[in-house]
Amino acid sequence: MKILGIESSCDETAAAVVRDGREILSNVVASQVDLHRKYGGVVPELASRKHVEAILPVVDEALGRAGESLETIDAIAVTQGPGLVGSLLVGLAVGKSLAYVRNLPWVGVNHIYGHVAAMFLSSGDALRFPFIALVVSGGHTSLFRVSSPTQMTLLGRTLDDAAGEAFDKVAKFMGLGYPGGVVIDRLAREGNPSAVCFPRALLDANSLNFSFSGLKTAVLNYLKEFTGEFSPSQIRDIAASFQEAVVDTLAAKVMRAARQEGVKLVTLVGGVACNTRLREKVAREGEGAGVAVLFPPPSLCTDNAAMVAAAGYHFLRDGRRGDLSLNAYSRFSTQPI
Ligand code: KG4
Ligand code: ZN
């Protein structure tokens, strides 16, 4: 089954063709990052308008690169939510319309399931159910027990900011540019992670929830209290210390989830799963605990449509179908479609 995937939940306009939920035939992503950079974050109305301009050329390119057309694909999968509602509506309207005119089956996909489905594209036979998935991105920080390609149980989630949002805000306070995660990752490699002791929230008891807003404020206060200019090495130390606080919490919770659930495989997905220190730390802790650790390549961690097609494949095989009344949802939901 060849599925056209469409993703437009935030600031990436993306389309992909995936065969049988595993094999990527094309994966096209048009990033809006240059458009939003001068505002230091995504401006929802600008994002929606840019999606309108980009979506049809991106779909055409994805079909063309795969050597397919609307006549040869078998189904369509579109991100339904959560995300920016204006952005979601663009992809959803296009997906529905193409499915309607070609009389193709289609499904709406939960973006968070999409991130998890990136694992189906990248891990081959190493992926066994059940596994723990840490979905960690600019919009989400959640832990799931994944029992099958269409069944996930929420174990914990952030009570305030997502980890990626904290990376982006801290980078903004420090004048490091946007998006901040990748810059902090790079600077932190040469910094001292123990230079400043920033708080690690909710590490107590058995909680699998997260909180990053206190950490964000702690970094802001630390920066404000300092009079004078930071040296480049101080900047690297602050970046490394902040990153270490985020990574410590994420690593501790994902390993705790594996322990509590008696599961021997954990996966890291979403944009923040590109983080070098996070990958390194969870891999090391996994090794110590006899738990396997897998993550997709960076191009499948950040938003893309191949993951949406991969998730859609399993829902379509389960017999689920979207209809024309299906609408976007903007808020967090564990609803599969
Ligand atoms: O998955 P994604 O593309 O979009 C959402 O669904 O939110 O994730 C984007 C987020 C941004 O916050 C970005 O700063 C963060 O992922 N990110 C990173 C790294 N690369 C991207 N955060 C930490 N380290 C990185 N290397
Ligand atoms: Zn995402």
Question: Do residues 325 and 283 share a domain?
Answer: no
Smallest CA-to-CA distance from 311 within 94, 149, 140 is with 149
Average the pLDDT over 132-146 and give the result: 96
Bridge partners, 267 (sequence order): 133, 294
Bridge partners, 31 (sequence order): 12
Q: How many CB atoms within 10 Å of residue 163?
A: 28
* Residue 335 pLDDT level (bands cut at 50, 70, 90): low
Share of the chain above pLDDT 70, in %: 97
Asked, for residue 120, whether it belongs to a domain, the answer is: no
Smallest CA-to-CA distance from 2 within 22, 19, 16, 14 is with 19
CATH number at residue 180: 3.30.420.40
Residue 19: give the domain boundaries. Answer: 2-115+300-334
Question: Do residues 79 and 148 share a domain?
Answer: no
Residue 274 Cα: closest atom of ligand 1? 26
Query: Residue 296: CB within 6 Å of ligand 1?
Result: no
Question: Do residues 314 and 259 share a domain?
Answer: no
Instruction: Please tell me the total count of domains within the chain.
Output: 2
Asked, for residue 11, whether it belongs to a domain, the answer is: yes
Question: Do residues 286 and 219 share a domain?
Answer: yes
Query: Residue 8: CB within 6 Å of ligand 1?
Result: no
Q: How many CB atoms within 10 Å of residue 292?
A: 17
Asked, for residue 122, whether it belongs to a domain, the answer is: no
* Residue 164 near residue 138, CB atoms below 8 Å: yes
Residue 115 Cα: closest atom of ligand 1? 1
Query: Residue 322: CB within 6 Å of ligand 1?
Result: no
Question: Do residues 136 and 262 share a domain?
Answer: yes
- Per-residue pLDDT of 290-316, as tens digits, reads 999 999 999 999 999 999 999 999 999
Question: Do residues 278 and 318 share a domain?
Answer: no
Question: Do residues 81 and 212 share a domain?
Answer: no
Asked, for residue 248, whether it belongs to a domain, the answer is: yes
For residue 240, what are its two tokens?
């490394």
Q: Closest Cα to atom 23, ligand 1: which residue?
A: 181
- Per-residue pLDDT of 199-230, as tens digits, reads 999 887 689 999 999 999 999 999 999 878 88
Angle (CA) 285-271-118 rounded to 5° is 85
Distance 99 CA to ligand 2 centre (A): 24
* Residue 35 pLDDT level (bands cut at 50, 70, 90): very high
Q: Closest Cα to atom 16, ligand 1: which residue?
A: 271
Question: Do residues 321 and 201 share a domain?
Answer: no
Query: Residue 181: CB within 6 Å of ligand 1?
Result: yes
Asked, for residue 287, whether it belongs to a domain, the answer is: yes
Tally the residues of the chain: 337
> Taking 80 as the threshold, does the pLDDT of residue 191 lie above it?
yes
Question: Do residues 262 and 185 share a domain?
Answer: yes
Query: Residue 68: CB within 6 Å of ligand 1?
Result: no
Distance 164 CA to ligand 1 centre (A): 5
The whole-number pLDDT of residue 332 equals 57
Average pLDDT across the chain, whole number: 94
Average the pLDDT over 43-55 and give the result: 96
Q: How many CB atoms within 10 Å of residue 208?
A: 18
Distance 287 CA to ligand 2 centre (A): 28
Distance 137 CA to ligand 1 centre (A): 5
Question: Do residues 155 and 45 share a domain?
Answer: no
Query: Residue 242: CB within 6 Å of ligand 1?
Result: no
Q: Strand 2-7 relative to strand 106-110: parallel, antiparallel, unpaired?
A: unpaired
Q: Closest Cα to atom 11, ligand 1: which residue?
A: 138
Question: Do residues 149 and 86 share a domain?
Answer: no
Output DSSP code: residue 229.
Answer: P
CA 113 to chain centre: 10
Asked, for residue 309, whether it belongs to a domain, the answer is: yes
Q: Strand 75-81 relative to strand 2-7: parallel, antiparallel, unpaired?
A: parallel
Lowest-pLDDT choice from 61-65, 121-125, 274-278: 121-125
Question: Do residues 90 and 197 share a domain?
Answer: no
Asked, for residue 121, whether it belongs to a domain, the answer is: no
Asked, for residue 327, whether it belongs to a domain, the answer is: yes
For residue 300, what are its two tokens?
């499948």
Distance 272 CA to ligand 1 centre (A): 4
